[in-house]
């Protein structure tokens, strides 16, 4: 999505993707290839201790979540270079308006994109970030459990998605962590709505409410939480944030457990 070589997912059907080369994604953080929470509510401060804010020059550009003491998972389309002094990962945050005492700030030692990530189709949209030092677990910073390998979610399962992304289609940016409920959509229906751009390595979810709810610019890389585990990574959404006509698309983490373990062994 947003690649220079070929159409974006949902072209002709209103996909919300970057209008620039994929390599610019982390710098602009727009589109829901780069998504933010719309129609959500502020969470209780520090009640989601696994959430990570990936920042460029102090500005939130992508979400992520802590899966091991030194590893944050995010989307591959969030192009995050290692060893860049301009990029940092913030754990233990609720408000991004100021630096809270609970926050732990890291630089990136390694940025590992899935080797088969396709910027045009957004397949295999998963990335692992190694922190420069180990996170200290406490009430503000904890890891989130991954799903069991190849676990799938049936239609109707209610999940939660959270982030610091846009809270409207007009670029309203929150400073506090936001969350909304979303419901898993049948993959066959989702594939038809997205004109074939959805595969078995993705999850689809949408709000059952008539109001707009879902992800929007800035939430990319954030977690889809179902039953206490993280099952998805925010990948892309429709042109109009929270529009049920085009369900939000998430990377299905359970399909990548073996790759994640391989990364942990190699680094």
Which residues lie across from 63 on neighbouring strands? 53
Q: Which residue in the list 46, 111, 123, 125 is annotated as catalytic?
A: 125
User: Beta partners for 206?
Assistant: 183
Catalytic residue among 46, 77, 94, 114: 77
- Has 261 been annotated as catalytic? no
CA dihedral 132, 42, 79, 120 (to 10 degrees): 150
Structure token pair of residue 134: 């180990």
Is 77 annotated in the active site? yes
CA distances in angstroms from 258 to 12, 95, 127, 209, 230, listed in the order given: 35, 34, 14, 36, 16
Q: Is 53 a residue of the active site? A: no
Cα distances from 46 to residues 101, 118, 137, 176, 212, in angstroms, run: 12, 34, 13, 10, 26
Do 221 and 54 meet the contact criterion of CB atoms below 8 Å apart?
Answer: yes
**Catalytic residue (choose from 111, 220, 237, 254):** 220
The residue with tokens 């399909």 is: 255
Instruction: Indicate which residues carry an active-site annotation.
Output: 77, 125, 220
């Amino acid at each position: 999505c947003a690649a220079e070589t070929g159409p974006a997912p949902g072209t002709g059907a209103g996909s919300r993707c970057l209008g620039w080369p994929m390599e610019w994604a982390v710098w602009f953080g727009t589109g829901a290839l780069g998504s933010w929470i719309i129609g959500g509510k502020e969470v209780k401060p520090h009640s989601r201790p696994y959430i990570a804010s990936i920042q460029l020059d102090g500005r939130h550009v992508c979400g992520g979540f802590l899966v091991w003491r030194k590893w944050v998972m995010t989307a591959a389309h969030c192009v995050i270079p290692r060893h860049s002094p301009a990029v940092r990962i913030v754990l233990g945050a609720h408000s991004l308006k100021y630096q809270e005492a609970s926050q732990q700030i890291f630089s990136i030692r390694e940025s590992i994109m899935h080797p088969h990530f396709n910027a045009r189709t957004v397949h295999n949209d998963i990335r692992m970030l190694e922190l420069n030092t180990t996170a200290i677990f406490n009430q503000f910073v904890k890891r989130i459990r991954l799903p069991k390998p190849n676990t799938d979610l049936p239609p109707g399962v209610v999940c939660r998605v959270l982030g610091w992304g846009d809270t409207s289609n007009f670029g309203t940016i929150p400073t506090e962590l936001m969350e909304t409920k979303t419901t898993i959509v049948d993959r066959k229906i989702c594939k038809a709505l997205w004109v074939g751009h959805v595969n078995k390595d993705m999850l689809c979810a949408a709000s059952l409410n008539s109001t707009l709810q879902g992800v929007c610019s800035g939430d990319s890389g954030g977690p889809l939480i179902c039953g206490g585990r993280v099952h998805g990574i925010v990948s892309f959404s429709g042109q109009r944030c929270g529009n049920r006509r085009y369900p939000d698309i998430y990377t299905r983490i359970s399909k990548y457990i073996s790759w994640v373990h391989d990364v942990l062994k190699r680094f």
